[in-house]
Amino acid sequence: MFKNMSLKVKISAGFAAMSLVLAAIVGISTVQIKKTQVTTDRVATLRAPTARTGVLLLNGVNHSLAALRGWILLGKEKFKIERAKSWQNIDEAFDAMRGFSKNWTNPENVKRLNEMRTNFDKLRGYQDEIEAIANTPKNLPANYILFHDAAPKAAILSKEITNMIDLEAKQAATPERKALLGMMADVRGTLGLSLGAIRAYLLSGDNKFKENFDKLWAKNEKRFGDLTGNQTLLTPAQKQSFATFASARDEFKALPPKMFEIRSGHEWNLAHKWLRTKAAPTAFKIKQTLAQMARNQKLLMDKDVKLSHELNKNLLWMEYMLLAVGIVVSILLTIFLSKSIADPVNRIAESLREGSGQVNSASGQISTSSQSLAEGATEQAASLEETSSSLEQITGQTKQNAANANNAKSLMSSSRDMVGSGVSSMKEMVEAMNSIRVSSGEISKIIKVIEEIAFQTNLLALNAAVEAARAGEHGKGFAVVAEEVRNLAQRSAAASKDTASLIENAVNKTDSGGKIVKKVADALETISESTNKVNTLVTEIASASDQQAQGVEQVSQAVSQMDQVTQQNAANAEESASASEELSAQAMTMDTIVNELFDLVNGTNLAKGNGGFAGTKALPGSTAVASASSAAGSSGGAMIPMDDDFKDF
């Protein structure tokens, strides 16, 4: 079937097949690259930003707790401002996390995010309550009782006992009154010392101050009892002050046990209690949720990185296979097309060679016959007419050959353009792989930012641990949280390093793929150059065909002139001889053109090995050929025989 196709169809089919191979290679490579790009983009735009946002949320929680503790301990306004900034950062990070959650593939993470939103709202409310009550009298209930209830009563007691002492100083110094004055002084002294012990215990919580108060108050009770037993010695003014003192004392003595009980319990500092029982547990739940999400995101990121690595590996092997298939198909197509085109052209060239030899032989016969033109003018005229007809046929066929060569030239130009388009597509694919490498570099930068955030978190945890150590017993819980934050920061840094290593490996694989694609593009460039060379050869064939047509046309004109001269008379024999020589020259020209065509198809060395133009061998035997032609008759078909291949041409 393929043998019966025209040269145009053969060339078109060959280059169409090569174009399909190129299109398949580009299409398969593009699909594989898009798969790799989807995975890489998911790591760059979802996994890594989600992990970074989780670290920001964790840092915001830690920062808000640290600022709240600073406000509780120091009462400086800047800590309230810092806590407000922390919550602003938490809200921004949470909004970003909610945006990322739309593309999450694990429903559990979405559920955790919703739970975390509830815990964040609770934590914010708890912190607001703690901030509102911290550094206020109601934060320390025992101190509130001291300053709101006990201190006013103690002021009354101190005022009345002092008034009694001042009045006693104006009385006569009798032994009874001196003893009475001592009682008053002991009551006032133990009262003042007892108040000091109360303040010390409420401030430090040390039981020694409570024990000291018990001793002092017991002495105060005893001396007050003595003073009560000697009321008869008091003056009316002293009795009035004593009544007021006794009434205030009865109200005061119930307050210290109440203050001691509150101070020794867990609710002596409401801000610390709420921080320990409300804010800290809620923050711990948030951190647990973030830790679970971080572990899940790490697993997903590792899975995506592994998938990207496998896709790159598959792309590399696919490029190798496509390269091998393309080379094999190109070689087979080249061999098949060259054979299917060269063999018919060889046959045509051989036929032209034989025909040119016969034309050269005929010219010798005409030269010999011109010497006896007078004897066979009529027969020679008929022979020339047949020769002219044959040459006209040759001229038509030669022009058709030139037109076909020009069509082949146009087809080769179209094929060259198609190969050029394939080269452009491969260059675009190289650019796409370069874009993947740039995206991988951006991912490396993001991982470095995560490492820096983990490092800063570690520093904050260290600072928090130092502050907890300074706080002593009250900072133990904070120290535990700080240590956990530090551990999380260290694990985040380790995970970031591992991720950076994997991404760097992916970048290296992408670079290798880019080099391979570059080799494929270079191979296509080589095919394009070969196509250009074939186009040049077909152009030369077309040019040679045009020259051949011109030569055959000149031969036809010469034969026509010879026919006219032969029909005139035998007196024009010299002109006939001259015309025959011109015909011989044109035959030699045709011989040269045919040799050039043969050299073009088979190569110069092969043409030389065949001994040049076959027609030149017939010149020495032209007399024998003339004799044979006389014996066979004077028909033009005997002088210039046409074989089947030459007629088809």
pLDDT at 572: 63
188: in domain:
yes
22: in domain:
no
156: in domain:
yes
CATH at residue 236: 1.20.1440
The full DSSP string for 97-151 is HHHHHTT-S-HHHHHHHHHHHHHHHHHHHHHHHHHHHTTSGGGSHHHHHIIIIIH
222: in domain:
yes
**CA distances to 168, 319, 490 from 293, in Å:** 79, 38, 17
Q: Taking residues 313-337, what's their average pLDDT?
A: 78
Return all residues near 224 (Cβ < 8 A) that are at least 6 apart.
Answer: 187, 249
Q: Is the pLDDT of residue 78 over 50?
A: yes
Most confident of 193-202, 340-349, 558-567, 582-591: 193-202
547/227 Cα distance (integer angstroms): 153
pLDDT at 267: 64
209: in domain:
yes
242: in domain:
yes
At 505-550, the pLDDT tens digits run 877 877 787 777 778 777 777 877 777 787 787 777 777 777 777 7
Q: Taking residues 224-243, what's their average pLDDT?
A: 90
At 94-131, the pLDDT tens digits run 888 888 888 887 788 888 888 888 888 988 888 787 77
- What is the span of the domain harbouring residue 187? 141-268
Q: Is the pLDDT of residue 617 over 60?
A: no
* Angle, CA 464 vertex, CA 266 and CA 291 arms, to 5°: 90
At 239-268, the pLDDT tens digits run 999 999 999 999 998 889 888 887 776 666
At 399-458, the pLDDT tens digits run 787 787 778 778 777 777 777 787 787 777 777 777 877 777 787 778 778 878 878 887
**CA distances to 129, 144, 380, 632 from 137, in Å:** 14, 5, 145, 145
250: in domain:
yes
**CA distances to 98, 307, 436, 572 from 300, in Å:** 18, 10, 20, 105
38/50 Cα distance (integer angstroms): 17
Instruction: Work out how many domains the chain is built from and give that number.
Output: 1
164: in domain:
yes
Put simply, whether the predicted model's pTM sits higher than 0.75 gets the answer no
